[in-house]
Structure 1
């Protein structure tokens, strides 16, 4: 049974403007430690790719927060929600701390997809009750 659906589209130029304005403080606020390390590595090799990576993670976390119906209120926080990838490349949601506990107590399961193009990143999330 579907618990919730969320979608988000993010302007990559807006993410770039936040990076320019706030530097690494912005990705440190939005990304988990593992995501931050990936962002740094991608940004060093190809800065544009790093910005798009950050935009897809921002978008995916927004879509997930909408699908669970919390928005960005506790226990949902940017850093407690991590977007990882399976070996196949499929994106997955990894939850930490109180958010993981909240999610598991409701027997939920999440599916996420992310995409990006030059100026936009978009995500779609379906959360279902897993009983």
Structure 2
């Protein structure tokens, strides 16, 4: 049974401008430790890949926050929600701390997809709960 649906589109140019203005502080606010490591690795080889990685993660976390009906307020925070990838490349949501506890108490599951193209990153999230 569907608990919530969230979608987000993010202007990659806006993310690039935030990085230029705030440097790593912007990424450190949005990304988990594991995501930060990936962002730094990708950005070191090809800066544009780093920007796109950050944009897709930003978009997916926004979409997730909408799907759970909270926006960015506790227990939903940027760093407690992580977008990871399975070995197949499929994106998955990994939750931490109080957000994970909140999510598990409700027996919710989440599905996420992300994409980016030139100037935009987009995400779609479906959160499900067990049928009554």
Q: 2: distance between equivalents of 1:14 and 1:109?
A: 30
What is the match of residue 42 of structure 1?
A: 42
How do 1:8-19 residues align onto structure 2 when only pairs under 5 Å count?
8-19=8-19
**Over aligned residue pairs, what C-alpha RMSD do you find?**
0.6
Is 1:97 aligned to residue 97 of structure 2? Answer: yes
Is 1:59 aligned to residue 44 of structure 2? Answer: no
Is 1:26 aligned to residue 26 of structure 2? Answer: yes
Which consecutive unaligned segments of at least 5 residues does structure 2 have? none
1:17-45 CA-to-partner distances (Å, cap 9, x unmatched) read 00000000000000000000000000000
Cα distance, 1:130 vs structure 2: 3.4
Q: 2: distance between equivalents of 1:47 and 1:30?
A: 17
Q: TM-score, normalised by structure 1?
A: 0.99
Number of residue pairs aligned between Structure 1 and Structure 2? 131
Q: TM-score, normalised by structure 2?
A: 0.98
Q: Flag as ranges the 4+ runs of structure 1 deviating above 3 A.
A: none
